[in-house]
Amino acid sequence: MREIKLQAADGSGEFSAFVWEPEGKESAGAVVVIQEIFGVNDALRATAQNLAEQGFIAIAPDLFWRLEPGVNISDKTEAEWKKAFELMNRFDQDKGVEDLITTLDAARELPNCNGQAGTVGFCLGGRLAVMMATRSDSDANVSYYGVGLDQLIDEFDQIQAPLMLHIAEQDEFFPAEGRARVLEAVEDNEWVDAFVYPGVHHAFARVGGIHYDARAATIANGRTTELLAEILE
């Protein structure tokens, strides 16, 4: 893993992005890995490392840099949860999408990138991945248990590349009514595949997380890899 610096599109400064590259590949597709509310933490880094082991370039930008650079916390203590929610509530999601577009463009310019790049996001990042599907030229986007996706339905007609939604049936941070509206909205959208995982909670695929579910995570991750391999390679 190496750290690079990227200039924000609005000229407000520079932010860090962390890059993992596959061994033995001279050309690979890139995946922008979008953080949860816990920053570019150990769990997200493990996910990025796994994507690199699968043959993709993984790049994870520090989206909280305007608030506090270098956030790396877990879901294990009440104090960490409190800090994570405080950061999320102050976070400007539109600026976050701008930074993600900057990261996407930079990913395509990395020496070993084949020019194809997509996103994979979790929780807050799952919402941002959907926003990237509606607001950027990302080649593919994957959203794990994105929150508040029903608030983005009006943007769904702007999707012009494959979008995969992994939805937890028991997601305590995304009420069932909102999930139902999203599923109805994407039912006839040729670009969107939505999967609901029965009996699991929010963050069922978080590495080492308190609600990790091995079966659901394995199925979801397999679907993600299949999509990324088809579109980015």
- Residue 207 is predicted with a pLDDT of 82
Within 8 A by CB and 6+ apart from 109, the residues are: none
Lowest mean pLDDT among 50-54, 74-78, 79-83, 101-105: 74-78
Domain extent listing, the chain:
2-232
Taking every pair of Cα atoms in the chain, the longest distance, rounded to a whole number of angstroms, is 47
28-34/14-20 β-pairing: unpaired
User: Could you tell me if 149 and 171 are in contact, meaning their C-beta atoms sit under 8 angstroms apart?
Assistant: no
Give the integer Cα–Cα distance in Å for 76 and 92. Answer: 25
What is each CA distance from 60 to 33, 178, 200, 205, in whole angstroms? 5, 28, 26, 17
Region 2-232: CATH code: 3.40.50.1820
pTM score: 0.97
Active-site positions read: 171, 202
Q: Which tens digit of pLDDT belongs to each residue from 187-226? A: 999 999 999 999 999 999 998 888 999 999 999 999 999 9
